[in-house]
Amino acid sequence: MRRMPRRCHPSSLPPKSKRIWCLTAVAALLTALCVCQNPAQSQQRNGPLAPPGSAFINLTSVRSTRLSNAVRVELRFDGTVQVFADPIANGWIDFPNDEPKLFPVSVIKFRVVNARSQAGAFFDISVYPVSHVEVSIPIGAKEGIGLDVAIPLYTPAWFKGIETRENSWSGWETEKLPTFYIQESQDHRSIIVTVASDRQSEPPLRLKTPEDAASLHQELDVALVDGVLQVSALNVSLHSFAEALSAATGIRITVDDEVRKTVSLYLPATDVEEVIDTLCRGYGLSAAQVGDSIVISQASPSSGSRFATVQTRLIPLNYLKARDAVDLLPTFTRRFVRESDEHNAIMVSAPDYLADKIQADLSKLDKPAPQISVQLTAVEFSDRSDIEAAFGITAKAQSLTAATDSNTGDVWFSTLGNAVEEYSARIRGLCQSGKAKLVASSQATVLNGEKATLFVGAKKLIQVRVTTWRGRQEEILMDVNIGTRLNVVPWTGGSGDITVKLTPEVSNVVSLDPQTGMPTLQIRRYEGTMRVADGDTVVIGGLKQTVDIPSRRRIPFLGHIPIIGALFTKKTRSIDRSEMVLLLTAKVVNPEKISPKANQTPTEPAKPQ
């Protein structure tokens, strides 16, 4: 190893140079720590930055347009934009083995190198699947030139392409939704981000304006009779209604200037508090007591009114993921909620009545998912008459007599119903007489709709001849899984029934390559879906296994002699035939008996007990 020259070693430097060297090393270490702690910022920092003294443009507006199956977000500038986005560095796409591989992202990020913002830093969209738009100044930007744009989504989206003067990534298609596409406008003064949705968008609401109300029949009657307030309003402006309510009650009620609504209300016997509460709940408003006046304003977190009574509430979740919970809420509440993945909570910015409604809805949704216990028992039969003895009577009643013919190779499904004890007694009797064999019993507990994999079989060792990198022939032992694998996906809606999707798979070794000894596997796979009562047992039959493995025995030393070694070698074949019957019992686990470990979905096949 080459040594560092003596004159360059830190210990040989003058004191002043040594101090400079130490400070440089400390600065480099701190920079490395910052990069490790915040990789997202370091990634943005590695993007291009405008040099000092550069000319810049301004972000003037952010507008969104709701399409029938997408949302289009347009960032408008007062000059020509310079956009930078690296799809590979952002984790949108990669090219392993020169093939494009797409990845879903929850936040669309890119940089406008030559821009500042005159429009603000936060722009609410709240149209599925787009949540909002954030802009910020990049770290290390000179003179505040540059904008990092982030567009958080309600659900992850897949990259479809980008078309700018500096970047052109397109040419592949994906069937997955949502997708996003970034492009510049024809005049290069706008950046358009189109996010295709995985659901049909709701048509935009068209609110009645005072001009619309003028062409409709209008009624307004607000009176206080014997201390009881009577209200009847039809197609009147909110400002006119507030004036009539103030005149009748003597309470000063004003409406914020940004609120333009036409209301209809009928309350034959009420009071002022109920009228104000009904207005707010029905038209998305908020009311605040300001001195001796009641001020009605728009209930929105992005409202510019200083009278809006919007509170922020953090609602933690125990079972649901924050992103999934937002997707389950009504569409109109999206502009009031944001997910907090760090705390697995929902942040609500809304009036009290709406925050209470959202919290009540979340409490109904945030429930533990049902867990289903799946128990598998495998019984091996050597003769089909024994299967008839075990399942003949009930199988005949279930019209399955023909399906038990093993020669057809058909797989049949049935349920035992209330005859579980009868079947169990017959199987025990056949096992005691040696006509059947209890191979294994496996059990797994999975969440509702998750897959459980249960395997009954064994690993067979097969002698295989391979060629080493030096060209030498060597014989090694190779293990092959031979047996029956059952994939089970149980579903329950809480009504006492369980829908079970069954995928049994039988694997056999049918032959070995005479040159290499590599096995040829025969795999039979079937699919079926059954609906059973909670605790019922499903019977799966017709799973034949045939294992035919040749073997070779040699007399030590003599069997390895060329040419004459065959005289001291004996070849034999081992054939093993059997038919497997699986008994599967699915049962909903009582939530009170669920242990913390039961929440884990098994990722490996359950081992026989």
Looking at the fold, whether 388 and 449 belong to one and the same domain comes out as: yes
Last residue of a domain, one of 325, 342, 365: 365
Antiparallel, parallel or unpaired: β 130-136 and 179-184: unpaired
Looking at the fold, whether 502 and 532 belong to one and the same domain comes out as: yes
Looking at the fold, whether 82 and 126 belong to one and the same domain comes out as: yes
| pLDDT value at 16 more than 50 | no
Distance CA 493, CA 511 (A): 46
| Of the candidates 83, 159, 73, the residue with the CA atom closest to the CA atom of residue 114 | 83
Looking at the fold, whether 443 and 331 belong to one and the same domain comes out as: no
Domain count, the chain: 4
Looking at the fold, whether 430 and 557 belong to one and the same domain comes out as: yes
Judge whether 555 lies within some domain. yes
Last residue of a domain, one of 240, 274, 298: 298
Looking at the fold, whether 488 and 382 belong to one and the same domain comes out as: yes
Least confident of 214-228, 368-382, 394-408, 494-508: 394-408
Looking at the fold, whether 255 and 323 belong to one and the same domain comes out as: no
pLDDT band of residue 519 (cuts 50, 70, 90) is low
Judge whether 182 lies within some domain. yes
- For residue range 180-217, what is the model confidence (pLDDT) as tens digits? 999 999 999 999 999 998 876 665 555 556 566 667 78
Judge whether 157 lies within some domain. yes
What is the 8-class DSSP label of residue 334? G
| pLDDT value at 48 more than 50 | yes
Last residue of a domain, one of 164, 196, 228: 196
Paired tokens of 211: 């001009």
Least confident of 17-26, 86-95, 297-306, 440-449: 17-26
pTM over 0.85: no
> Which CATH number does the domain housing residue 63 bear?
2.60.40
> Which CATH number does the domain housing residue 278 bear?
3.55.50.30
pLDDT, position 341: 79
Distance CA 360, CA 566 (A): 82
DSSP secondary structure letters along 461-512: EEEEEEE-TTS-EEEEEEEEEEEEEEEEEEEE-SSSEEEEEEEEEEEEEEEE
Other CB atoms within 10 Å distance of the CB of residue 287: 20
Judge whether 225 lies within some domain. yes
Looking at the fold, whether 356 and 376 belong to one and the same domain comes out as: no
Looking at the fold, whether 394 and 491 belong to one and the same domain comes out as: yes
> Which CATH number does the domain housing residue 338 bear?
3.30.1370.120
What is the 8-class DSSP label of residue 35? H
Query: CA geometry: angle at 267 spanning 269 and 295, to 5°?
Result: 105
Paired tokens of 384: 């089909």
Other CB atoms within 10 Å distance of the CB of residue 115: 25
Residue in the structure block whose two tokens are 């003769």: 383
Looking at the fold, whether 141 and 70 belong to one and the same domain comes out as: yes
pLDDT, position 476: 73
What is the residue range of 395's domain?
Answer: 372-456+484-513+522-591
- For residue range 94-141, what is the model confidence (pLDDT) as tens digits? 888 777 888 999 899 999 999 999 998 999 888 888 989 999 999 888
